[in-house]
Amino acid sequence: MSKSSQKQRWWNNAQYRSLFFQVVLVAMIVGFFCFIGTNTLANLEKRGISTGFGFLSLKAGFGILQSLIPYDESYSFGRTFLVGLLNTLLVSALGIFFATIIGFTVGVARLSNNWLISKLAGVYVEMFRNIPLLLQMFFWYFAVLRTLPSPRQSWTAGEVAFLNIRGMYLPRPLFGDNFGFVVWTFVLAIVATVFIRRWAKKRQDETGQPFKLGRVAFGLIVGFPVLVFFALGSPLSWDIPKLQGFNFHGGMTVIPELTALVLALSVYTATFIAEAVRSGILAVNSGQTEAASALGLRKGKVLKLVVIPQAMRVIIPQLTSQYLNLVKNSSLATAIGYPDLVSVFAGTTLNQTGQAIEIIAMTMSVYLVISLTISGIMNWYNKKIMLVER
């Protein structure tokens, strides 16, 4: 066997080459960050802005339209961050809730064998998907909610809930002393259901005997707390909003900004969820349904045991990215003045303190953390329901 006649030049060696490329890359990136770092420091010094997070403990001195925790002008900038964050989480949670409901309904309706219903669902999806979200938000806020009647001419549902230009007024629940027991029975019932489900699955695996979990779970989770609730003498009353002078007092107020934001976010995101649901259901091979029917399963069981579990595998990843989009899109709130994180913190707080770098960095990291958490949870779930292959 002859020795390799030509000795390879070192610059033709793949390993050296990749090492060289990577060193150059790192040098370029370090150089880039040094460049902007020195510029930033020089610029900050020129403008007399001190760096650091000390500003978070300074007094904010501005009011915020809606806050889930106690807040007024005397609280600190750190508190404004928290208020904005909670408002963002609130609108995201509400948006995800409604978008999921509308999205699944429309997605299933689009596959309905009723021609009219499937066409209507198609029109809904095509219409709202192709119009920018910000435009929809403006439409709901400026063209619809800003033209509602004044408090005196409010629209009302049964004289307990009112809708007018200042917002939506809903009855507020007042929890009595013993209401905690009802909540505890509810939690207990859920825990018990989890255990019963485990036992039932084990029994079915061993003996083949199915267990009617649905009814038992319903009885436990709904029936039991209701029983406790009445046994304790209904420890719940409602604070109903009342018109006094020019405005409503009492009850719970949903500001129009929140309504417009949730409406636009859920209507827009629902179109994408509907498409995800539709593609998921269509992805299940029709042979699966036929095989299940051939085994003698009823239509409902076919859906529950065969179609939905398989469709979920396709739906979940797309659903995750839509949830992430919704959370990120909730930052559009700033355009209509809903006090979310971007509007309160990266807007007002930034204008008042001028600490651009710290504030933008904090805002971005919040969204990064939310994104990574949601995708982490969904990846875990996705792994759990993934096809187990040999």
Partner 1 sequence: MAVLITTPSPSLSPPASSVGVVGWLKQNLFSSPVNSIFTLAGLYLLYSVLPPLISWAFFQADWVGTTKEACTSNGACWVFVGVRLNQFIFGFYPQSEYWRVVLAFSMFAGLIGWLLIDRTPKKGLVGAFTVFCYPIIAYYLFYGGAFGLPVVETYKWGGLMLTLILASTGMFFSFPIGIILALGRRSSMPIAKLISVIFIEFWRGIPLITVLFMSSVMLPMFIPENMQIDKLLRAIIGIILFQSAYMAEIVRGGLQAIPRGQLEAAEALGLSYWKSMGFIILPQALKLVIPGIVNTFIGLFKDTTLVLIIGLFDLLAVVQAAFADPKWLGFSVEGYVFVASVYWVSCFSMSRYSQHLEKKLHTGHAR
The reply on whether position 360 binds partner 1 by CB under 8 A is: yes
The angle subtended at Cα 290 by Cα 286 and Cα 294, nearest 5°, is: 170
- Of residues 34 through 73, those in contact with partner 1 by CB under 8 A are 36, 39-40, 42-44, 46
Piece of 177-185, 191-199, 276-284, 356-364 that binds partner 1 (CB under 8 A): 356-364
The reply on whether position 371 binds partner 1 by CB under 8 A is: yes
Nearer to partner 1, 101 or 361 (CB): 361
Which two tokens mark 366?
């919040």
The reply on whether position 231 binds partner 1 by CB under 8 A is: no
- Please, which residues have CB within 8 angstroms of residue 11's CB and are 6 or more apart in sequence? 17
Residue of 13, 112, 204, 234 that binds partner 1 (CB under 8 A): 112
The reply on whether position 328 binds partner 1 by CB under 8 A is: yes
For residue 289, the tally of other CB atoms under 10 A from its CB is 16
In b/e form, how buried is each residue of 328-356, taking b as 16+ CB within 10 angstroms? ebbbbbbebbbbbbbbbbbbbbbeebebe
Piece of 78-86, 112-120, 186-194, 281-289 that binds partner 1 (CB under 8 A): 112-120
Residue of 120, 303, 312, 378 that binds partner 1 (CB under 8 A): 120
Nearer to partner 1, 128 or 248 (CB): 128
The reply on whether position 364 binds partner 1 by CB under 8 A is: yes
Nearer to partner 1, 220 or 327 (CB): 327
The reply on whether position 381 binds partner 1 by CB under 8 A is: no
Contact between 145 and 259 (Cβ < 8 Å): yes
The reply on whether position 356 binds partner 1 by CB under 8 A is: yes
Within the chain, how many helices (H) and strands (E) appear? 15, 8
Q: How far is the CB of 126 from partner 1 (least distance, A)?
A: 6
Residue of 29, 58, 160, 222 that binds partner 1 (CB under 8 A): 29
* CA separation for the pair 140, 339 (Å, rounded): 17
- Please, which residues have CB within 8 angstroms of residue 40's CB and are 6 or more apart in sequence? 357
Contact between 40 and 59 (Cβ < 8 Å): no
Residue carrying the six token digits 């900038």: 77
The reply on whether position 111 binds partner 1 by CB under 8 A is: no
* CA separation for the pair 275, 298 (Å, rounded): 27
DSSP assignment of 294-355 equals HTT--HHHIIIIIIHHHHHHHHHHHHHHHHHHHHHHGGGHHHHT---HIIIIIIIIHHHH--
Question: With the C-alpha atoms ordered 276, 278, 281, 283, is the resulting torsion angle positive or negative?
Answer: negative
The reply on whether position 160 binds partner 1 by CB under 8 A is: no
The reply on whether position 187 binds partner 1 by CB under 8 A is: no
* CA separation for the pair 379, 385 (Å, rounded): 10
Nearer to partner 1, 289 or 375 (CB): 375
Piece of 61-69, 100-108, 235-243, 334-342 that binds partner 1 (CB under 8 A): 334-342
The reply on whether position 30 binds partner 1 by CB under 8 A is: no
Question: Contact residues for partner 1 (CB under 8 A)?
Answer: 18, 21-22, 25-26, 29, 36, 39-40, 42-44, 46, 112-117, 120, 126-127, 129-135, 138-139, 142-143, 328-329, 331-332, 334-335, 342, 346, 350, 356-357, 360, 363-364, 367-368, 371-372
